[in-house]
């Protein structure tokens, strides 16, 4: 008898990778979603259950009398899904989010320097509604999940990118470059590290938990690309792929207002999820290198551009006001051109321990093995 799997979601960024990964593992897959859209990557023969996964009564009606070997829930109201599926599946995997961590949405809660780097699974969580209402609801949902299904496996998603992404951060750069922009404001050197997850990599990590149930039962995992690029590296990778000669305009965060949608938080402090537990328990490695994943995402966005002023751009909150950006850039360049150079008696160095470019000179001109 074949194994059965219910995928709640299945048509979002990670969904088709999960569906096809389960099919390759010999599962008979059923997809449950609202039915608002389908994706071509899912085989046409699959059974679809169209109902509201945010409503417990609708779920109960749609799944009455059904039992599955596996349920993967990436969409819907997780508390309701867990209550309906408890006792009706042998294995339960679910997706939540990083905002459970205290300081993830409000870095000031973690202190003046923002969150610790990296963020481990046992990092302090949001403890009160008044601190961060979204984060607190996520924490309480996780607790309710494990109260209902103690041996579930739960994944804390980062922002997900790739096909069908809901918050297409890369579009902020792609649209600019398509429209001829070559100067790009980046705050604080563009050195911010922020965990993202390419959809295929995220699905790959979850499927590893399917393969290794005993190692992952009852656990919560951070899941994201293991390799993390700085904001500047993201911009440079995309510009190079699009053939754009990029000029980075480095500004302090307080002045770099057009970069807010790219940073996606009120500081340039890091938001870096540690994935070592996923690596050690499940032998996770990025299936697609993040630089290649960015190139694939750019190609998708160029071929399927979001509607100007449409839902994706409304979510991103970037007005693409190039005239205002140019006024700010020009003012900043005039200001920095007027700044005096160093006029102290001794120029500060990089420290005697540093031996790279511009650092301590070699003690011997030629290297000798003797």
Average of per-residue pLDDT across 182-207: 98
If 0-12 CB within 10 Å is exposed, 13-18 middle and 19+ buried, where does residue 83 land?
middle
Share of the chain residues as helix, strand and coil, in percent rounded to the nearest 5 = 35, 15, 45
Confidence of residue 280 (pLDDT cuts 50, 70, 90): very high
**Domain assignment present for 8:** no
Which pLDDT does position 358 carry in this prediction? Answer: 81
**Distant-in-sequence, close-in-space partners of 108: CB < 8 Å, separation ≥ 6:** 114, 266, 267
Confidence of residue 297 (pLDDT cuts 50, 70, 90): very high
**Domain assignment present for 78:** no
Assess contact for 15 and 39: CB atoms under 8 A: yes
What are the DSSP calls for 334-367, one per residue?
A: HHHHTS----SSS---S-TT--STTSPPPSSSS-
Average of per-residue pLDDT across 58-83: 95
Average of per-residue pLDDT across 134-155: 96
Nearest to 235 by CA among 179, 195, 287, 176: 176
**Domain assignment present for 2:** no
Angle at 116 between CA 167 and CA 129, to 5 degrees: 65
**Distant-in-sequence, close-in-space partners of 124: CB < 8 Å, separation ≥ 6:** 101, 102, 103
Confidence of residue 143 (pLDDT cuts 50, 70, 90): very high
pTM (2 d.p.): 0.95
**Domain assignment present for 43:** no
Question: Could you tell me which residue, 362 or 300, shows the higher pLDDT?
Answer: 300
d(C-alpha 353, C-alpha 273), whole Å: 31
Average of per-residue pLDDT across 255-281: 96
| Backbone angle region of 94, left / alpha / beta, with phi > 0 → left and psi within -120 to 50 → alpha | beta
Least confident of 35-49, 145-159, 171-185, 277-291: 35-49
Neighbours of 193 (CB within 10 A): 16
| CA dist 133 → 136, 146, 265, 287 (Å) | 5, 20, 16, 34
Which pLDDT does position 1 carry in this prediction? Answer: 65
For residue 352, pLDDT over 90 is answered with: no
- Rounded CA Rg of the chain: 24
Share of the chain above pLDDT 90, in %: 89
* 3-class secondary structure, 255: coil
Nearest to 248 by CA among 267, 233, 263: 233
Question: Could you tell me which residue, 300 or 364, shows the higher pLDDT?
Answer: 300
Which pLDDT does position 35 carry in this prediction? Answer: 84
Which pLDDT does position 296 carry in this prediction? Answer: 98
Average of per-residue pLDDT across 278-307: 98
For residue 140, pLDDT over 70 is answered with: yes
Which pLDDT does position 359 carry in this prediction? Answer: 81
| CA dist 341 → 78, 133, 338 (Å) | 58, 48, 9
d(C-alpha 9, C-alpha 73), whole Å: 7
Average of per-residue pLDDT across 26-50: 93
**Domain assignment present for 242:** yes
**Domain assignment present for 312:** yes
Confidence of residue 190 (pLDDT cuts 50, 70, 90): very high
**Distant-in-sequence, close-in-space partners of 218: CB < 8 Å, separation ≥ 6:** 146, 150, 151, 152, 153
**Domain assignment present for 170:** yes
What's the structural domain count of the chain? 1
pLDDT in tens, 228-262: 999 999 999 999 999 999 999 999 999 999 999 99
Confidence of residue 34 (pLDDT cuts 50, 70, 90): very high
Domain that holds residue 173: 86-335
CA 79 to chain centre: 23
Average of per-residue pLDDT across 48-52: 95
What 111-118 contacts at long range (C-beta under 8 Å, 24+ apart), as own/partner pairs, is: 113/269, 114/267, 114/269, 114/270, 114/271, 115/269, 115/270, 115/271, 115/272, 117/193, 117/270, 117/272, 118/272, 118/273, 118/274
Check which CATH number belongs to the domain holding 168 and give it.
Answer: 3.40.50.720
Nearest to 27 by CA among 75, 63, 68: 68
d(C-alpha 202, C-alpha 225), whole Å: 8
Question: Could you tell me which residue, 37 or 252, shows the higher pLDDT?
Answer: 252
d(C-alpha 157, C-alpha 261), whole Å: 19
**Domain assignment present for 72:** no
Angle at 236 between CA 204 and CA 171, to 5 degrees: 65
């Amino acid at each position: 008898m074949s194994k059965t799997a219910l995928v709640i979601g299945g048509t979002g960024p990670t969904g088709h990778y999960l569906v096809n990964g389960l099919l390759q593992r010999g599962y008979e897959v059923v997809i449950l979603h609202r039915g608002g859209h389908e994706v071509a990557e899912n085989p046409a023969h699959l059974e679809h259950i169209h109902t509201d996964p945010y409503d417990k009564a609708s779920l109960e009606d749609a799944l009455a009398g059904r039992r599955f070997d596996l349920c993967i829930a990436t969409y819907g109201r997780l508390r309701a899904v867990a209550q309906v599926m408890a006792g009706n599946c042998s294995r339960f995997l679910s997706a939540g989010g990083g905002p459970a961590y205290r300081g993830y949405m409000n870095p000031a809660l973690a202190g003046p320097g923002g969150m610790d780097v990296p963020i481990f699974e046992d990092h302090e969580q949001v403890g009160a509604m008044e601190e961060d209402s979204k984060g607190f609801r996520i924490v309480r949902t996780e607790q309710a999940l494990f109260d209902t299904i103690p041996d579930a496996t739960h994944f804390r998603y980062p922002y997900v990118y790739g096909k069908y992404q809901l918050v297409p951060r890369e579009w902020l750069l792609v649209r600019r470059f398509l429209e001829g922009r070559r100067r790009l404001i980046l705050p604080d050197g563009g050195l911010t590290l922020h965990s993202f997850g390419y959809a295929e990599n995220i699905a790959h990590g979850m499927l590893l938990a399917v393969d290794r149930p005993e190692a992952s039962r009852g656990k919560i995992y951070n899941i994201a690309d293991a390799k993390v690029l700085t904001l500047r590296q993201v911009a440079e990778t995309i510009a190079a792929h699009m053939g754009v000669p990029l000029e980075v305009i480095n500004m302090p965060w307080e002045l770099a207002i057009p970069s807010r949608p790219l940073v996606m938080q009120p500081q340039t402090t890091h938001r870096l999820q540690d994935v070592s537990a996923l690596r050690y328990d499940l032998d996770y490695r990025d299936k697609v290198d993040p630089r290649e994943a960015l190139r694939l995402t750019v190609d998708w966005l160029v071929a399927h551009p979001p509607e100007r002023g449409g839902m994706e751009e409304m979510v991103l909150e970037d007005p693409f006001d190039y005239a205002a950006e140019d006024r700010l850039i020009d003012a900043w360049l005039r200001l920095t051109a007027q700044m005096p150079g160093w006029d102290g008696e001794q120029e500060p160095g990089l420290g005697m321990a540093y031996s790279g470019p511009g650092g301590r000179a070699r003690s011997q001109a030629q290297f000798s093995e003797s």
